[in-house]
């Protein structure tokens, strides 16, 4: 379970202060696939990056499992992070390391022995269906394959939580679906909590059980995905649903007239 | 061409290489320390310490603003203290290393900064320590850029050995001045220039080759 209480974060620039998170509260159930949706600038990226303290919150608390993340010192935080996997929009793989060594990196950091690393890397690579790419370098992979390596790397230390920071935003729709399906499969198989932030409704619709809508640094609505689509309460949620409806109709017309796909 | 030419050239080249190799080794070590310090202590980086960053940056700028020939003179007492003499190639190594280190620090800094912050964040996200990040992310990821930067630096040190030669350090630089210029030995002047050109070309070629083979491995196409 993840419990976030009164989380605040502001960015100070030379002549003004930008509030990214404003006393935000959120509870995410264990084993859930939880979507956080918002327009750009709403603070969703800051929120997910505060969860493993890639960004330091100014105030408030974050509880993940039975660890108060916001109370940890540097060393404790490093240990806690091993149990919080994260994947990124830009994948952030190391170009100088093969797929094998990218996935092995978190295990090396955690101090595992060679044999244990080899076994675990093979295991997670199989989970993401990349066993045959062990010796490839990231530059030789497609976007989808890179994200699979990212997922394998995030899973290497058997985390309880997987944070996804716009993990599919750089991928084409087809690849997006295959990655989402993979995330779903992993969630089922390993029972880990998946938190994903996105601005794409397709992502919510496809795999999330619950959703929170973020606007101006606070959560304006939470609930099941069905409720979000069928009975959106907040303006932001309604705007999202409307935009996509509108877009769907337009796309349907365009594609119907064009290639017939 | 007189028969002492080859012998003089060989002696000069030997001294130049001696100065070049050792100065490069020490300057690269110092430069890596300075460059890494600059990068990791910067605001928002893994060991943020803005005060240290400012001090290191200030010292680097200070040393770099001095013309090398003045720096050598200033460093003579240091050379005497470290190696017991202020004359000859060994003494010059002290000045060359210290003189070139700040320049190396800056180019190491700029090479390391090419590593996108996302890679560092990914490493942080799974619990990597600053040490892991420096030695397993920053340096390996910047390696091709580092090799190219260090090539530039080693060639710059080659030039500096010639300057040091002018004030008694020996080597090809001093050969060109003492024989080529002061004794009107045109053959020596030309031969020295040719050897220096060949030396620099070899260094550049080697650096390019190393950087290219690292990149080839990383970015080979199937």
Collapsing DSSP states into helix, strand and coil, what is residue B171?
coil
Q: Using the predicted structure, report yes or no on whether residue B50 has a pLDDT greater than 90.
A: yes
Q: Using the predicted structure, report yes or no on whether residue B159 has a pLDDT greater than 50.
A: yes
Choose among A95, A137, A157: nearest Cβ to B126: A157
Say whether pTM exceeds 0.90: no
Write out pLDDT tens, residues B52-90.
999 999 999 999 999 988 888 888 888 889 888 878 888
Determine the pLDDT at residue A219. Answer: 95
Chain A interface mutation, best of B127, B219, B222, highest count of A Cβ atoms under 10 Å: B127
Determine the pLDDT at residue B186. Answer: 85
Residues B221, A140: C-beta atoms closer than 8 Å? yes
Is the Cβ of A110 closer than 8 Å to some Cβ of chain B? Answer: yes
Determine the pLDDT at residue A250. Answer: 72
- The answer to whether A29 and A210 are in contact (CB under 8 A) is yes
- The answer to whether B23 and B97 are in contact (CB under 8 A) is yes
Is the Cβ of A156 closer than 8 Å to some Cβ of chain B? Answer: yes
Name every residue whose Cβ is closer than 8 Å to that of residue A177 and which is 6 or more positions away in sequence: A206
Task: Give the span between the Cα atoms of B13 and A110, in whole angstroms.
Answer: 50
Of the candidates B194, B164, B204, B195, the one whose C-alpha atom is nearest the C-alpha of residue B73 is B164
DSSP per residue, A108-121: HHTT--HHHHHHHH
Determine the pLDDT at residue A256. Answer: 53
Task: Give the span between the Cα atoms of B208 and B200, in whole angstroms.
Answer: 12
Task: Give the span between the Cα atoms of A37 and A29, in whole angstroms.
Answer: 17
Adjacency order of strands within the sheet including A59-64: A17-28, A2-12, A59-64, A67-68
Phi, psi of A8 (to 5 degrees): -130, 145
Q: Using the predicted structure, report yes or no on whether residue B183 has a pLDDT greater than 90.
A: no
Average pLDDT over residues B98-118: 94
Determine the pLDDT at residue A261. Answer: 44
Residue of B nearest to A75 (CA): B129
- Which run of H or of E encompasses A203? helix A201-207
Determine the pLDDT at residue A239. Answer: 87
Distances (CA, A) of A236 to A39, A215, A250, B80: 8, 7, 21, 74
Residues B141, A95: C-beta atoms closer than 8 Å? yes
Q: What tens-digit pLDDT sequence spans chain A (261 residues)?
A: 899 999 999 998 888 888 999 999 999 999 999 999 998 888 999 999 999 999 999 999 999 999 999 999 999 999 999 999 999 999 999 999 999 999 999 999 999 999 999 999 999 999 999 999 999 999 999 999 999 999 999 999 999 999 999 999 889 989 999 999 999 999 999 999 999 999 888 888 889 999 999 999 999 999 999 999 888 888 888 888 887 677 777 766 655 554 444
Contacts of A105 in chain B (CB under 8 A): 123, 126, 128, 136
Residues B125, A97: C-beta atoms closer than 8 Å? no
What is the length of chain A?
261
Q: Using the predicted structure, report yes or no on whether residue B163 has a pLDDT greater than 90.
A: no
Determine the pLDDT at residue A42. Answer: 87
Determine the pLDDT at residue B175. Answer: 85
In chain B, pLDDT over 90 holds for what percent of residues? 61
Choose among B122, B132, B214: nearest Cβ to A92: B122
Determine the pLDDT at residue A251. Answer: 66
Determine the pLDDT at residue B170. Answer: 83
Query: Is the ipTM above a cut-off of 0.95?
Result: no
Q: Where are the alpha helices (DSSP H) in A52-197?
A: 74-81, 99-109, 114-127, 143-155, 173-190
Name every residue whose Cβ is closer than 8 Å to that of residue A147 and which is 6 or more positions away in sequence: A87, A91, A167, A168, A171, A175, A179
For residue B174, what is the DSSP state? H
Determine the pLDDT at residue A6. Answer: 95
Determine the pLDDT at residue A260. Answer: 45
Number of H helices, E strands in chain A: 9, 10
For residue B177, what is the DSSP state? I
């Amino acid at each position: 379970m993840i419990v976030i209480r009164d989380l605040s974060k502001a960015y100070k620039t030379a002549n003004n202060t930008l509030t990214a998170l404003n006393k935000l509260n959120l509870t995410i159930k264990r084993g859930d696939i939880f979507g956080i949706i918002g327009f750009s600038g709403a603070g969703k990226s800051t929120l997910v990056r505060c969860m493993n303290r890639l960004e330091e919150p100014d105030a408030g608390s974050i509880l993940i499992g039975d660890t108060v993340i916001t109370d940890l010192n540097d060393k404790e935080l490093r240990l806690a992070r091993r149990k919080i996997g994260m994947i990124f929009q830009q994948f952030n793989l190391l170009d100088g390391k093969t797929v094998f060594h990218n996935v092995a990196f978190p295990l090396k950091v955690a101090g595992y022995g060679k044999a244990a690393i080899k076994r675990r890397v093979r295991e997670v690579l199989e989970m993401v269906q990349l066993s045959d790419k062990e010796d490839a370098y990231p530059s030789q992979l497609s976007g989808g394959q890179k994200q699979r390596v990212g997922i394998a790397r995030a899973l290497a230390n058997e985390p309880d939580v997987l944070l996804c920071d716009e993990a599919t935003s750089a991928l084409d729709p087809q690849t997006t679906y295959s990655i989402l399906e993979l995330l779903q499969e992993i969630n089922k198989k390993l029972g880990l909590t998946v938190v994903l932030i996105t601005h794409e409704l397709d992502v919510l619709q496809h795999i999330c059980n619950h959703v929170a809508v973020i606007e101006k640094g606070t959560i304006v609505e939470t609930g099941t995905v069905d409720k979000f689509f069928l009975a959106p309460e907040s303006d932001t949620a309604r705007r999202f649903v409307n935009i996509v409806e509108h877009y769907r109709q337009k796309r349907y017309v365009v594609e119907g007239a064009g290639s017939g796909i | 061409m007189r028969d002492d030419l080859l012998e003089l050239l060989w002696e000069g080249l030997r001294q130049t290489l001696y100065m070049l190799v050792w100065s490069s080794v020490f300057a690269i070590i110092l430069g890596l320390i300075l460059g890494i310090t600059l990068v990791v202590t910067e605001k928002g980086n893994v060991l943020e310490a803005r005060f240290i960053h400012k001090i290191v940056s200030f010292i680097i700028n200070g040393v770099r603003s001095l013309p090398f020939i003045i720096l050598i003179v200033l460093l003579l007492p240091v050379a005497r203290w470290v190696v017991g003499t202020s004359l000859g190639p060994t003494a010059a190594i002290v000045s060359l290393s210290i003189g070139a280190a700040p320049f190396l620090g800056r180019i190491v800094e700029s090479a390391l900064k090419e590593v996108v912050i996302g890679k560092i964040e990914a490493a942080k996200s799974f619990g990597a320590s600053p040490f892991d990040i420096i030695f397993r992310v920053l340096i390996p990821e910047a390696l091709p850029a580092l090799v190219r930067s260090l090539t530039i630096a080693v060639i710059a040190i080659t030039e500096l050995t010639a300057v040091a030669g002018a004030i008694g350090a020996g080597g090809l630089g001093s050969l060109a001045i003492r024989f080529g210029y002061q004794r009107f030995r045109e053959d020596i002047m030309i031969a020295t220039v040719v050897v220096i050109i060949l030396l620099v070309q070899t260094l550049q070629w080697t650096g390019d080759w190393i950087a290219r083979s690292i990149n080839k491995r990383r970015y080979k196409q199937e």
